[in-house]
Each structure stands twice: as C-alpha cells, then as structure tokens.
A and B are shown apart, each in its own frame.
Chain A
C-alpha cells in the first residue's frame, strides 16, 4: 500500500513538469543549505594582489576561488564547506608576515598557502612556526628557506640549485656555450642568490667560463634603464647570458639586449617562465626550468588550463591574453594537498580542535608521497621542498618547448 501510494505520487511528480522542477529545486536548495549550515573548513592564502607581482597574485586568487567553488560544488570536504580567506601582501615581507598572523590568529585557518616570494617566505615562515600553522609557498625557490623553518614551512617548488644542475648542461650542449656573462636583480632574494651563487657554481661544474666573474653586473628591481650593464656585457662578447630576475625585470634586460644587438641565448631560473617574456625578444632563445607551463601535455594539466584560463581572462586587472602560470598550478596543488590531508587525517574543523587539526595537516604533508599533482606525483623532502617532476624549457619565437624532463628526487623518498 505504501509502495503503491509512493509510486503514484512519484508518477504525478514526473508527469507534472512544474512539480518536477519544484521538487528538484527543493532537493537542490536543501542540499545547498545543508552545506551552508555544515561546519566550515577554513584555509588561508597570502598572495601579492598589488605591487610588482600583482599579476601573479591576482591570478592566484582566481585559481583559489575556482578550487573553492569546485570543492563546494562537489559536496565540500567531508560534508563541510571550504572557505579560503585570501589576503594581499603586496609582495612585502612584513605585510606577508602580518597577513599570516591575522589568518592564523583571527581567522583560525587550518593552513596557509603562500607567501609567494622568497623574500616574503624568509620573514613569514618563522611566524608560521611561532603560530604553529602550516605555510606552503607557491613560488619561493631560494635554497634553504623552508629548511630553516621546519617543521611548519613547506614549499611546492624545487630548489633552484637542483634545477640549475639540469638546466645548465642542456644550455651548454644546445648552444655550444663556452662562456657566459651574468646579470641579476640585486634586490630580489631568489634572483640575487641564483646570480651570485647558484649559477656560478653550476657553470663552473660544467666548465663554462664567466666573463664577468670578478665584476658582477646587477640592477635593482624597478630599473628600466639597464643600458650600461648591457653595453658592458656586449663588450665582453660571451657566448650566452645568464639573466637572473623575475620575468618582468628580465623583459627589460631582453629588450635592451635586442636594442643593442646582443642576440645571444639566455639561461635563467624558474622566475623567467611566463608568456610575456616570449614577446620581449622573440629571436633570443631563453632556457629555463619549470614544473608547469600552460601548454603542458597531460590530462590533469590540460583540464586545469581549460577550466582556469577563461576565468583568468574574464578577471579585470589581468591581461586579456593571460594563461595560467606555474604559480597558479602550484597554489592549486597546495590547497588540493591540504584538502587531501583534511579528508584523510581526521581533521574535524571544529574551533576546539584547531591546534590538533593543524598538526594533523603538517604530519600528513611531511609524510606525503605520490599525491597526484598537475604534472605528476608530488611529495616533500626532509627540507620541506617538493619532490616533483620538472622540465627544462626553451622559449623562442613565442612558444615554450619541453627539452628535458627531470625529477627533484631525494634519498629515502619516492621519486616522480
């Protein structure tokens, strides 16, 4: 009887489109309100939405909002709604540290993605240790920054020293390089370390002479005139040039090289990877390592680009032709790893459990192996840096091409 009545009423609903729509709406609203009323899982992010790296920070924000929506549309995390609070640090170390303090202290987030730069990470990671909250940088690659701030600091990046060991031999072989000149941004922590220590060591190991070894050429972040430095480089007639700077500053150097007719292959660190740099001097080949690039092959990477790119291009304040960057991929992976940790390690998200929850996320990340990132499996080494696949890319005539695939493997940890 009950069955028969139930079948009849179900039939009525199916045969009546307006009732069917109404029923579906009620079901969907009740599901939505159930998620809305469910406990929240609070995560935080510190990105530079203003200042010299605003493009990266703004696209990071769009990426995080997309991931937040994807997660909540799929039912949240163990039934709880994901809320990501994003704060702008303007790429200023002090502002990054105070943002993390606010996220951990006032917003009670379980973990933080960011900050972006090594300069900011150097100041912010000690605060993460003090507040006992995981912070994972999406871009810092200056050697040892996470290592100095264990156990709460992580980086979803690879140490530039490790990347240079693969990048420089390819550069040497591809362009028959016997000598190089080095120019670097003295005010950028990663660029200065790469220019003064990492690249000279890698070049010497590969028996490449540095024509200005005793006379380093540098400039300051924000300089538009590098004519004197490029004239000097040109007079030394190297086979290639090391440009250690973030891509927006490197563009200035490449434009000046082109203007002065110094058309020589360029090698650098992950900071060079961008679409914009390919337009600066298309005829100058650029060699740099990356863990992700927008035209990368693979199901996860291609799906990520397909979903994110239209959102980035709709966002005001971002270039109309923008593509997802390596740092968008990194921050997407960071929060995905946090979600994975919350799902698998018994995180409750209750205010009373915040300290225990943070420790569970930290322990999960420290032991993480084989997490499926956009470019393959990801884990962390004992220094808190990512073990993941990387690629040596060659940029020329407007496109990046993969030349070498490598892995930042570490002893006693799973590889890529």
Chain B
C-alpha cells in the first residue's frame, strides 16, 4: 500500500505540474486578499454592493451583462440587496417590451424578472461606438480570462505611459497587464470618480477590487453554496472512507493476507 501511494502521489505531482505549465506566459499580477477564495470563501456583501455601483456607473455604459437578471441582485449569496432595493434598481431602467395587442413595441420600467438592460442594440452597434472593438459581455468575463480575478483586478490598475519607442495608434492604450499590452479600452478609473453610498473612499484600488468581486459573483453566482456544500461533502466522504477502511480490515482479517 505504501508503494501504491508513493507512485500515486508522484503521478499527481506531475499532473499538477502539467497544469501549471498549461497556463503559459505568466505575468506577475497584482495581488490582493479575495474573501471568496479558500475552503470557506464567501463574498464580501458590501464589496458586492459597491462593485455593482461601479459596474452601473462606469462599466455598464459599454459592457453588457446579458446573463444576469435584476432578481439576482436580491438572491442569497449575491449582493443581497433587499427585494425593495432590487425592485427600485430594476424600475430605474427602461425596458423594451411587446408587441402589445396593437402590434407595437413599448417601453416600461424594468421588473425583477428582466435581464440587465444592454447598452447597445447589438454587437455591430457596440463595435461602431467603440472604434471597432466590441466591449465583451461581462457575465462570465472572470472565467473567460486565464488570470481570472487577479488579471481583471490588475488590468484596471495597469494603465501606464507606454515605454519609449512604442507608438500607439489612435484609440489604443497601453496597459502593462493586457496580453500584447495594447488595449482599446481607455483608463476608466480615477480616485474619487464615484461616490460610494456607504461612504467608502473610492480609490482606484478600492473600485478595482469591488468591481472584480462583483464580476466574480456574476460569473459564479452559486460560489458560496458550492463552497459550503463541498466542505460538507468532503467531510462526509472522509468519515465514510474511514469507516469503510476499518470494515475492510475486519473482513480481510478472516484470511491470512494483508490488504
């Protein structure tokens, strides 16, 4: 059995090594403490609420979030706005509905069941308004980028003057964390850009962290449930494994061989 585990752990090590290598072209991203990492990781509610504020006031004029509904804002494990707050948020948006009985489209205030209103009619309109670059939908953005939250967090703070000798086209910006360093999105955040409802000082770092937390939740709305359930499931499995191990020892003791 000893030999078995030695070989197995060796294989596991190689296995893990391979995956680390898969994430090639590593850049040193800025680090911060994420409350949602780790076995018991949970979202910081107020960070999520502030992050939503950053999203609506800054990002949402270009970036859609088509998989989210306003009801999600009040759901457990998310920003957990009260239902009244979420309703008010939804009602502050104009939603196109219809056709009505006359065959006409009409607008009405948003409801909890509505999806987040999109900033542009379609991808082409978004491209036309942004110099040909489509601002990606942000619903699963964190999961769609190799560096995940660290990457987004760094990117938002990665705008620096280009090094000497690098010529940028019109509408192209330099970002030290962007793949290839050239990005069509201009720097959006500056200290004190928005005024947080809870009085937190809106530094670039603070806003980057909050909005990234919000994006993580948007991509993985069930993350908290997953962590809680995972812990229970693994504890259950470990206890059962121990019990089965002793039953096995007992059963095999009937014959003169070692398991």
A, B in one complex: no
Residues of B that sit less than 8 Å from A by CB: none
